[in-house]
Homo-oligomer: A and B are copies of this chain.
Amino acid sequence: MSHDHRFALGRFALACGEVMEDAHLSYRVLGQATPTADNLVLYPSSYGAWPEDIDWVVGPILDPERWCVVLVSQFGNGRSSSPSTGGAGVAGHPWPVTHADNVGAQRRLLEEVFGIEAPALIYGWSMGAQQGFHWAVLEPGRCRRLLALCGTARTTPHNRLFLLSLRRALTADPAWNGRCFEAEPLQGLRAFTSIYASWAASQAHFRDLSLAAGGWSSLEDHVDRAWLPHYRRHDPRDLLAMIDTWWASDVATASGCGNDLVAALGRVSAAVTVMAGSHDLYFTPDDCAAEAALIREARFELLPSTLGHRAGNPRDDPALQRRIRDALDALLERSC
């Protein structure tokens, strides 16, 4: 039913002025495009996500009979051009790829492969929502509708601190020589994962979690078996690269508005629905609501859940899936 495609970008100029040789995007298509491809949904990937991690949305949230869903891997995730594919090194910290580059490459994908300028909908969770906001600001004429789940248009200072702790934990490992990893940084990865787990869920999630019922002998065992494999499967250079793109995410600087977020978000003409997890610890409801208030046609909605940040990717939570589907239906009914 689905397999991944490779879209060759050739020599790709990054927004920072550097060039990626032989760049490519990897993407997966689910559902059938109409002859005019007016049913296309673009879903850019979140941190560390591969298409097989997020394609469950097709069905529970996005009807495959109606939509043609294009799951596109962001640069740095190991499928599209990434440090691990030779796409760019990490020696020069930070990794230079930003969401402006993701949007530029995805724009070419839509034009050259699907023959369209604007998708019917952009759907994104977390770093996917960041990319959606960048579409809305940088390409207002090509972004009609955006459903942004648990993400912000500009990375907040506290969120950067979280990213700093991840980067430092990973590069504290003896395998890191200051420029690259000489072996698998397993101790660093175990620290990295503990940090990630503590922020990505919520205090209440861990309060309610039964280690015994899950078959875990201890909290460490839970982290090492339920969380670590998700990050360990990645090349650690890619983990750093995606951190740097996340850190730099800012629609204001990306759009030449300097520090002026109000001006940047004022450019958005799309109908937007922003959904925030009630217990999201890094894309907090306050931050998401404050940005939504700066977008002309935005509505803000809470996703009440102790899943925290993960409420926006509720693979195993039909109630949350229904809420997102309802919000999507309402978004589709708005004129734009």
Contacts and interface: CB of A to CB of B under 8 A. Distances in A.
Interface of A: 156-162, 164-165, 168-169, 171-174, 185, 187-188, 190-191, 194-195, 197-199, 202-207, 209, 219-220, 223, 281-282, 284, 286-287
Nearest to A173: B172
Contacts of A164: 194, 219-220, 223
A286 B162 CA distance: 23
A165 B195 contact: yes
A187 B199 CA distance: 21
Contact of A161 (B162, B168, B219): B219
A203 B161 CA distance: 10
21 contacts: A156-B207, A158-B203, A158-B205, A159-B203, A161-B194, A161-B219, A164-B223, A165-B195, A165-B198, A168-B187, A168-B194, A169-B169, A169-B194, A169-B195, A172-B172, A172-B187, A172-B191, A174-B174, A203-B281, A203-B284, A203-B287
A161 B198 contact: yes
Contacts of A286: 203-204
A197 B207 CA distance: 22
Q: Which 10 A-B pairs have the closest CB atoms?
A: A165-B194, A168-B191, A158-B206, A174-B174, A172-B187, A157-B206, A158-B203, A172-B172, A169-B191, A161-B198
A16 to B, nearest CB: 18
A199 B198 CA distance: 10
As for how many copies of this chain the complex holds, the number is 2
A156 B209 CA distance: 11
Residue of A185, A187, A190, A223 with most chain B CB atoms under a 10 A cut-off: A187
Contacts of A157: 206-207, 209, 219
A49 B171 CA distance: 28
A315 B178 CA distance: 38
A243 to B, nearest CB: 12
Given A158-B207, A203-B284, A168 B169 contact: yes
Nearest to A175: B174
Contacts of A162: 198
A219 B187 contact: no
Contacts of A287: 203, 207
A226 B109 CA distance: 46
A161 B206 contact: yes
A170 to B, nearest CB: 8
Contact of A160 (B160, B205, B219): B219
Contacts of A172: 169, 172-174, 185, 187-188, 190-191
A156 B203 contact: yes
A191 B203 contact: no
Residue of A171, A172, A207 with most chain B CB atoms under a 10 A cut-off: A172
Contacts of A156: 203, 206-207
A130 to B, nearest CB: 17
Contacts of A194: 161, 164-165, 168-169
A287 B208 CA distance: 12
Nearest to A196: B165
A168 B197 contact: no
A169 to B, nearest CB: 4
